[in-house]
Each structure stands twice: as structure tokens, then as C-alpha cells.
A and B are shown apart, each in its own frame.
Chain A
Amino acid sequence: MKVINIKHAAAALVIGVAASAHAEGELNVLTWEGYTDPSFVEPFTEATGCAVTPTYVGSNDEYPAKLAGGGGVYDLVSPSVDTTTILMKAGLVEEIDVSRIGQWDNIYEQFRNHVGVNYEGGVYGVPFTWGSIPFMYRADRFDQAPDSIASFWEDESLSGTISLWDDKTNIYIVARLLFGTDVDVYNLSDDQLAAVRDKLIALKPHIRKFWSTAGELVNLYANGEVTISNTWGGYQSSLLAEQDIEMVEFIPVEKADGWADAWQIVKGSPNADCAYAWLDYATSSGGQCGVVGVTGYSGSNPVVLRECLDEATFEALNQADFKYIDGLVLWEEPARVDAYINTWNAIKAAQ
């Protein structure tokens, strides 16, 4: 019996080698978990012969860090539309020929025209997914939702139960709290940044923990450590629902940040044909329905999503309401990003 098994194995090996020899190319992808889920990557590979090998990141920082560290390994990346700016200004990604992307015109205009994917008249990113950064709380700990984040400073009962994302984007909503929702949060002056810094330092005694990964925030709630925090809209609350912990997401009067992730082609990628095949697929029904189904985020192409999502889901993901995106403050890379990072670091460092 053993001999036959070995023969089988040898046959499988030969077939495997033959199959990979027929492949048109291989895409090395630096991306978020869920963005290259086998459920929708396998049909892509079958159709195009392009194999996809993902490496996952835990935060946006890793995209510039890995590409600048001199990789030459990756063909595609999928950072958020603030980090995309760093990559294109640093010359780490290629200009994209949108005529090769069949569904380009059906992508939300707000994302197609976003400053994060347009640079010197060219397009450098293909929007893929989006969502909001709302706040959420444990349903069993609150009678009614706080309508403003001002309560974090004022409501003593919240003290020690607050968690905030360990990210410079906290500056934006606190700036809107201090200076009104019309303030341009991406062009704050030094004085405004200092005021935001002092305000957030004053909040530190009331913060239980800064969370840095989705799993960490889920555990903080599940272990009863925190009751209220900001969140990646729809994502952590659904993970907590699986553990029978009911969460309520809300957008405070200070409004919420909006994020979008876009695919970019790494400069000098030898697999440009496969990369374009992927960009085309990612924005068509296969990629859009696939990623929305896996992650629970909203997709960038509402036209194809209408085909695969039922009406209730389509509504719940705010895909029907084009105005919803305008209600969010979409991320951009601040012009003086160093000053913002320095502000956030000073907040973290303060004693």
C-alpha cells in the first residue's frame, strides 16, 4: 500500500508543478486580513491563473515601513487613504491606468476623487472598502447613549472604563469637540494641536487602556475591562455579538471619521498584468461581494453590491445612502503629519 501512496504523492506533485508552471504569475500582496480571503481569491486564481500570496499587516504604519525598508517583494498593497498619500509621494507606488478597470466609473465618486488616490493628475489607488470610526458601548451598562464625547471628561461614572484606539486619528475628533465640527482637522495650527494634546492628556486618568488591535478591543470588552470606546464600524461589534455581548454603535455630535482602503501597485512590480487583473476583479462583483461578506465592511462599488446583498444588508452598510459618506470626515494625510504624530506621541508619553 505504501508504494501506491508514494505514487499518488508523486503524481500530485507533478500535477502541482505543472499547474504552477501554467500560472500567469504570482501576486505577493501586503494587506489586511480578510482582503484576500480564499473564498473569493480562489475563483480569481482559477479565472486568471494568477496566484495570490498574502502577508497581513496589523496597522497602516506597516505599509510604508515595509516598502521603505527595501522589499521589492510585494506587488500590491491596500493601505487606508491617508497612508496612500505617503506611498505615492515617496514614489513607492505606480500610477494606475483606470481604463483597465472595468467598474471604475461605478466606484463612489467621493473615493475616486479623494486626495489620497490622486496625485499630480494621476490616479494612484483603487478604492476597495470603507467604513466609519464610530463609538460604541456595552448595551448592558448604559441606559442611554452619550451624545457627545464631552461626557468622557465630564461623566465620572465613565472614569476608568474608557478605551481609545492607539492612533493619531484621535486628534481629529477631539479637535472637532474643541473647535467645532467645521474645523479642518487635517490643517490644525500648532496652538490647536497643543490644545488637543492638553485635552487628551487630561483624559488619560479616565482611560483604562489604549487598544491597538481589533482582537485586543474585543477582549477588553469581553473581560469586563471597558464599557465604551471608538471602534472600526461594524467589525468589533459583530465579533462581540458572537460572544453574546451586545454592543451599540453611535456617532456623537462631533461626527465620526470615515476611512477607505485602496489597492496600490508597488513600483517596479514584475506582475503588472496580474495586478491589473486583481484591481479589476476587486472592484467587480466577485471581489466586492466577497470582501463585504467576509469583513462586514462597506464596499466601494454600490452598483455591483446591489446584485449580491439583500436590501436590509445594503441599507445596514449604508450603501444605499450616498449622503452618508458626506456625513463622515474622510481620512486624509495631514500636510504636517510629523506635527500630528509628535502630538500623539506626546500624549502617550505624558506622565
Chain B
Amino acid sequence: MKPRTRQVLNFWSLFTGPALWWGTVLLVPYLMMLAISFYTRQFPFHVPDFQFGNYITLIADSQYFTVLLRSLWIALAVSVTAFFLSYPLAYFLAFKVRSNRLRLFLYTAAIVPLWVSYLLRAYTWKTILGSEGILNSFLMWIGVINEPSTIFLYNQGAMVVTMAYIFTPFMVMPIYASLEKIPVSLIEASKDLGAPRFTTFRKITLPLSMPGVLAGFTFTFGLSIGDFISPILVGGPYSNMIANVVATQFGMAMNWPLGSALGVVLLVIVLGIITASDKLERVGRINLG
């Protein structure tokens, strides 16, 4: 066998599976979604077509903009909350913990929630935040409030807290990975040259960990903007997210074209965020160079 033939054979023996998988479960469905988003709704289903009516509906009817804006806001709030919870933890793990065993233990503890079912974790927050929940009982016990408060559960705040908790591992992991790779010599050099601790953090540690921060933001933002379970479980009357609307279009409304158009919009937003974070990362690299 010619080396060239062997090379081709090797290549395809390795990549046929992934290529088939990628094509059939990712590429083709996305193309189908794109195609259906141009179809025309006709009771009870839809007919193939090429028109922009579904997209016009999304712009003309303000309910979609309201929900989209709410989803963006919630996803941003979740990402920022997760960042402020995760960065100190990752920093502590990477620089402050001396024992490897302890570090492994703490790191595992931080990401172990991933092994527990999403639903279970969301339900747990109901028992914490509810009117007769743990938080209310505690606040009444220490005398901060006299009667149970309803402000903790069934609103956007509860959704942000729940999702921030659930998606925090996706923020901790990339930040920790990028912090861990920073050569200690750089930090020592900065200190030797007389930079105060915060300056060292601001000029060395933080910029060098930005790729991890951006990756964490991208994961968290992408996961929370498409979430539709937390609005159902811990959200209130003002918590409908874009994914809930998509779910209705494919369920009760049987309006696949409109649902697909919403899906395309959501996909474009997430792709836009990934592209933006990629660009930002490149900018960061050049500045450091």
C-alpha cells in the first residue's frame, strides 16, 4: 500500500464516525431548523415555503422582544454572579492551597454538583427559598424577620441564584485551568520589581487568566440563555424565557416555523457571543505580547 493511500485510510478510519455523527445529529438538524423557519404556518401544521413572515412576527409582536431581552438579562446576571463566586475560589485553589490532595479535594467538591441531576438541584433550591423554607426559618430564628417572606422564591432572583449555583462548575473549571498555567516566576518577578499585590493581580494574573474567564462566561451565558427548567421550577409570573416560548411553539401551538425562527435567533445570539469572546481573547493576547 502506498504511504499516501494508507494515510487517507487511516484518516477516514478515525474520522468517519465523528463525521457521520457531526453531520447527522448536528449539521443536518440545524439546516432543517433553518429551512423550517421559512415555512408557512397552516393549521394544523405547516407547509414548505420560503418567506420571512416568521421573522417579521418576531419583530412586529413585542412579546418576543420582551422575552428575549429578559433572557439576555438573566443570562448576564447568572454569568456575572457565577464569575464573582468562581474566580476567588479558583484563585484560592491555584495559588493558596499548598497540599495537592487538599486542592484535588476542594476542586472535586466544587464540580461535584455536576454529577447530581439538574432537576434535583433545582428542587433543592425550592426547599431553601420557599415561604416555609430553610432560609425563612433561619431568618425568623435569628430574629431578622417576624413572618415568612415571599421575596426569595418564584421570581427572577430565585432563577439567577439557582442557575448561578448549577452552572458555577462551568465557570470554575476553565478559570482554574488558566490560573494554574500561569508561571509562578512571572508573579515573583512582578513582586521583585516592587509591584503591590493588587497591581500584580491586575497586570499579570487577571490578564493571563482572561481566556479562562471568557470561556467560563461563554459556557455559563450559553447554558443559561437557553434554560427552560428554572423558570418553570423557581421562576414566577415574570420569568418566561425564550426557551419556554420555543417549547410552546413546538407543543401547544404546533407552530414549528415560528419555533424554528426563534431557535435560529437564539443560535445566532449564542454564536455571536462565542465569536465575540474569541475576538476579545485575541485582543488580549496581542496586548500582552
State the A residues within 8 Å of B (CB).
59-62, 64-65, 68, 86, 89-90, 160, 168, 204-205, 207-210, 212, 223-225, 337-338, 341-342, 345-346, 348-351
Contact = CB atoms under 8 A, between A and B. Distances in A.
A61 B150 contact: no
Contacts, number: 81
A351 B43 contact: no
A345 B236 CA distance: 15
A341 B130 contact: no
A168 B154 contact: no
Majority SS at the chain B contact face: loop
Contacts of A205: 237
B124 interface: no
B265 to A, nearest CB: 15
A224 B148 contact: yes
Contact of B248 (A224, A225, A341, A351): A341
Contacts of B251: 59, 61-62, 65
B62 to A, nearest CB: 8
Contact of B254 (A59, A86, A168, A207): A86
B209 interface: no
B50 interface: no
A349 B220 CA distance: 23
B67 A349 contact: yes
B237 A207 contact: yes
B63 A225 contact: no
Given A223-B130, A224-B148, A341 B238 contact: no
Contacts of B133: 223
Contacts of B41: 338
Contacts of B43: 89, 337-338
Contacts of B67: 349
Interface in B236-251: 236-238, 240, 244-245, 248, 250-251
Contact of A351 (B70, B232, B244, B254): B70
Contacts of A351: 66, 70, 238
Nearest to A90: B44
Contacts of A61: 248, 251-252
Contacts of A59: 251-252
Nearest to A219: B126
A86 B254 CA distance: 10
15 contacts: A60-B252, A61-B252, A68-B44, A90-B44, A208-B150, A210-B237, A212-B232, A223-B132, A342-B253, A345-B63, A345-B253, A349-B64, A349-B245, A351-B66, A351-B70
Q: Could you say which of B44, B64, B70, B251 has the most chain A C-beta atoms within 10 Å of its C-beta?
A: B44
Given A62-B251, A224-B148, A349 B66 contact: yes
A225 B66 contact: no
Contacts of A90: 44-45
Contacts of A207: 236-237
A319 B95 CA distance: 74
Given A223-B133, A348-B244, 10 more contacts: A60-B252, A89-B43, A160-B150, A209-B237, A223-B131, A224-B148, A341-B252, A345-B253, A349-B63, A350-B66
B260 interface: no
B154 to A, nearest CB: 5
Nearest to A64: B254
Interface string B6-21: 0000000000000000
A88 to B, nearest CB: 10
Contacts of A223: 126, 130-133
B176 to A, nearest CB: 37
Contacts of B245: 345, 349
Nearest to A167: B252
Contact of B153 (A225, A342, A345): A225
B168 interface: no
Nearest to B247: A61
A34 to B, nearest CB: 22
B120 to A, nearest CB: 15
Contacts of A337: 43
Given A212-B232, A345-B245, A351-B66, A204 B238 contact: yes
B154 A341 contact: no
A86 B248 CA distance: 16
Contacts of A60: 252
A342 B238 CA distance: 17
A89 B44 CA distance: 7
